[in-house]
Amino acid sequence: MSGKDTANTRKAGKPEAKPEVARGTWQDRLSDIGLNLFVGALRLLPVRQRLNLASWIVRRAVAPALGYYDRVEANIDHVWPGTPPAEKRRIADAAIDNLARAFIENYDPAEMLQRGAAYPVGGPGLAAFEQARAEGRPVLLLSGHYGNPICARCALVARGYEVGGLLRAMSNPYSNARYVQNYRDVAEPVFVQGPGGLKALLRHVRSGGVLAMVFDVFDGSGVPIDFLGQPAPTVTSPADIALKTGALLIPYFGIRRADRYGFDTILEEPIEHGDPVEMMREATRRLEARIKDDPGQWMWTHRRWKPKRQMKRQRKRAAATM
């Protein structure tokens, strides 16, 4: 079978109707205007210059103002205490550089698709993925905020595979409309997290579709799973969906090259079906291995552990059982 999915796979769940833009505040509107001006100005530049300038601006101005460096270093102290200050700064600088580049990249889906076609797709799970597509078996591609997973999705789409995407809506409704459209411009279908999105997503996967998603976000209702040595509430929904639909669960990564532009898309061996928590522990181990190999590619700026919130909830649970 060629890289393109079969017709019966293409008729998987219908894409959701494009959402109307919800009304936000005037601050939301002003923030969105500023973001559009910033992105629009950068897009006047050739792509490599655009990414370099975005990184410079974010590292020199935006990240210090928002406290990103302090947050990265606090996260590193939480999981890797004793890391030398110079190493923490190096990881923070690389992580914020990656964040800036990924953000701007996501505003140019056509360029990401073109780049995806130019760089390789490989890994020990590629054969299993291709076999599943030949058989019409659904696939869940599971990643973290490492490198740029959307570029990895683009690499598969550029080869003729239909890879749906799941995203969490942004709080600013004006910026969110563009954010969702960027995902749609890569490929349909796209599902927005929520009850309606979940139902459509399940229809898509059950009918033999491919879905790409990330799992390394804090979820208060999640199961505590050690991540880089510290417990982090983790969703089991990827494993639950795989078990319900019979989908292969394949960790995948869009790994940024040393030139900070090129990508290698790697599909790892599928995670065996079994207990959902154990499946997510294995997914976590796969992501941990990538982070330990190159910590600057992971999004250390986000609040993955929230230890104070976890301790507060533990105290509440303990008090409720007394």
Residue 11: per-residue pLDDT: 40
For the chain, which ranges sit under pLDDT 70? 1-22, 322
Q: Which residue has the tokens 């411009």?
A: 185
pTM: 0.89
- Which CATH entry fits the domain spanning 110-321: 3.30.1380, 3.40.1130, 2.60.120, 3.40.50? 3.40.1130
Cβ–Cβ < 8 Å for 139, 248 = yes
Angstrom CA distances, 253 to 182, 184, 199, 238, stand at 19, 20, 26, 16
Model confidence pLDDT, tens digit, residues 2-34: 455 643 343 444 444 444 456 789 999 999 999
Q: What is the pLDDT of residue 21?
A: 54
Sheet holding 190-192, edge to edge: 121-122, 263-267, 248-256, 139-143, 210-214, 163-167, 190-192
- What pLDDT, on the 0 to 100 scale, is given for residue 88? 98
pLDDT at 2 (0 to 100): 43
pLDDT in tens, 265-285: 999 999 999 999 999 999 999
How far apart are alpha carbons 55 and 53 in whole angstroms? Answer: 5
What is the pLDDT, as a whole number, of residue 254? 98
State how far Cα 247 lies from the chain centre: 19
User: Residue 66: its pLDDT value, please?
Assistant: 96
Q: Which amino acid is at 98?
A: N
**Extents of the domains making up the chain:** 110-321
pLDDT score recorded for residue 314: 72
Distance of CA 296 to the CA centre of its chain: 15
User: What pLDDT sits at residue 9?
Assistant: 40
Provide the pLDDT for residue 16.
47
d(CA 264, CA 119): 6
